[in-house]
Amino acid sequence: MDFNLPEEYRAFRDGVRRWVDAEAPKAWARDLEKDEHHYPFVLWEKFTEAGFHGVGIPEEYDGQGGDVLMQMLLARELARSLGGLAWIWGITSFAGSKSIGIYGNEVQKKKYLPLIATGKLRAAISFTEPSGGTDLLGSMRTTAERVEGGWKLNGEKIWSSSAHVADYLLVIARSNRNVAKNHQGLSLFWVSTKSPGITVSNLAKLGMRSMGSCTVHFEDVFVADEDVLGEPDKAWYMLLPTLNNERIMVGAFCLGVIDGVLEDALDYAKQRQAFGRTIGQFQAIQHYIADIATMQTSTELMLHYCAWKQASGQPVGNEANMLKLIASENANKAADLGIQILGGMGYSAETDMQRYWRDSRLWRIGPITNEMVRNGIAESLGLPRSF
């Protein structure tokens, strides 16, 4: 088995790395992140100019082409410097290009994919219910009622990142209450944020600050039939492949954070003087750095395995769960060790370790908690369902 990337992928990765160093360095990312009320439109425009919004979208829809592995290479390189701000690219890539691209019809693809690929359309995900968290299916209170020519949405979503600046929302809602199981009777809607009846409010939070996360309230919001994605009442079956993609993407972002942590920890350990020598000579510091490097390699191997399986059309649900689990815990632990290595400077807003820690802490909770991931893995091994 050859673990080396093909030349095309290596060239793409190296090009993105150079772009990040020149256009989105860590010091600039720190400045962007300081103002949680100011969405970084300048970063979005940089992604547009670089063509990143088109990665993973076929050329026939004005995209750059590329498979899931190329998308993951992009996600990793962006997160090395940007941390959670890399989601500025990732949210629309998932909510827009992946969703429209996989279960949109040809009319929807021709209408929306070129806009996404050229940076003219931002999307946000509106799935989570205020009362439910991970229990999305059991807590679903947002409803879609059949009306002439379409549907009317009523309800509320929470943690809809970048909804305040989005052009469209990817919304899941209950469209049929007469079902035997909670995963039945759900539909997926592509909703313009300009629709009457939508109210968006910002939430204060620990990390990923300037990206913005929101509550979205729907009051008799009309959605035309042409903006239903896929078959009504069958949304959950459609979503499963893209949920795997989201978890692989989270793994790539986490790996990028580990890259950034290791980079900064090594640089500091080689320069910082204490007790008459550089701290990189101390065994405790060396062990911390060795642990971070080991986390980096193990996460990388799992990421490439999952991306390869998905790109080749193989089932990847369980492996994507495992990747999300180890990647998020590795990234958050690596950032915590990075803070310890830098000491007081690791706690300072003038360095990036605290930013990496705050951003990566979310990935242990979302898009699904690691406790629920462990439940799913255990169930896949033949153990009884625990929830």
What is the C-alpha separation between 139 and 162, in angstroms, rounded?
A: 23
Burial class (CB in 10 A: 0-12, 13-18, 19+), 251: buried
Q: Quick one: pLDDT at residue 249? A: 95
Q: Which fold has domain 124-233?
A: Butyryl-CoA Dehydrogenase, subunit A; domain 2 (2.40.110)
Domain 7-122 has CATH 1.10.540.10: yes
Alpha helix (H) residue ranges in the chain: 7-23, 26-34, 41-50, 68-82, 87-92, 99-103, 106-117, 235-271, 283-311, 317-342, 353-362, 370-380
> Average pLDDT of 165-188?
94
> Which tokens is 174 given?
């209950």
Average pLDDT, rounded, for the chain: 94
What is the C-alpha separation between 323 and 373, in angstroms, rounded?
A: 10
What is the C-alpha separation between 160 and 51, in angstroms, rounded?
A: 25
Query: Is the bond leading into 367 cis (omega within 30 degrees of zero)?
Result: yes
Q: How confident is the model at residue 38 (pLDDT cuts 50, 70, 90)?
A: confident
Residue range(s) in the chain whose domain bears CATH number 2.40.110.10:
124-233
* Lookup result for tokens 């971070």: 292
Contact of 298 with 326, CB cutoff 8 Å: yes
Residue range(s) in the chain whose domain bears CATH number 1.10.540.10:
7-122
Instruction: List, for residues 101-148, the tens digit of each pLDDT value.
Output: 888 999 999 999 999 999 999 999 999 999 887 888 888 999 999 999
Residue 169 CB neighbours (<10 A) = 27
**Which option is the CATH number for 236-380: 1.20.140.10, 2.60.40.3080, 3.30.1160.10, 1.20.1440.230?**
1.20.140.10
Instruction: List, for residues 225-254, the tens digit of each pLDDT value.
Output: 999 999 999 999 888 878 888 999 999 999
Q: Quick one: pLDDT at residue 173? A: 97
Q: What 3-state DSSP class applies to 129?
A: coil
Q: How confident is the model at residue 387 (pLDDT cuts 50, 70, 90)?
A: confident
Instruction: State the amino acid at position 372 in one-letter form.
Output: M
> Which tokens is 191 given?
């909703």
Residue range(s) in the chain whose domain bears CATH number 1.20.140.10:
236-380
Contact of 96 with 121, CB cutoff 8 Å: yes
Answer whether residue 37 shows pLDDT above 80.
Answer: no
* Longest CA span, the chain: 78
> Average pLDDT of 293-312?
95
What is the C-alpha separation between 215 and 126, in angstroms, rounded?
A: 9
What is the C-alpha separation between 53 and 41, in angstroms, rounded?
A: 14
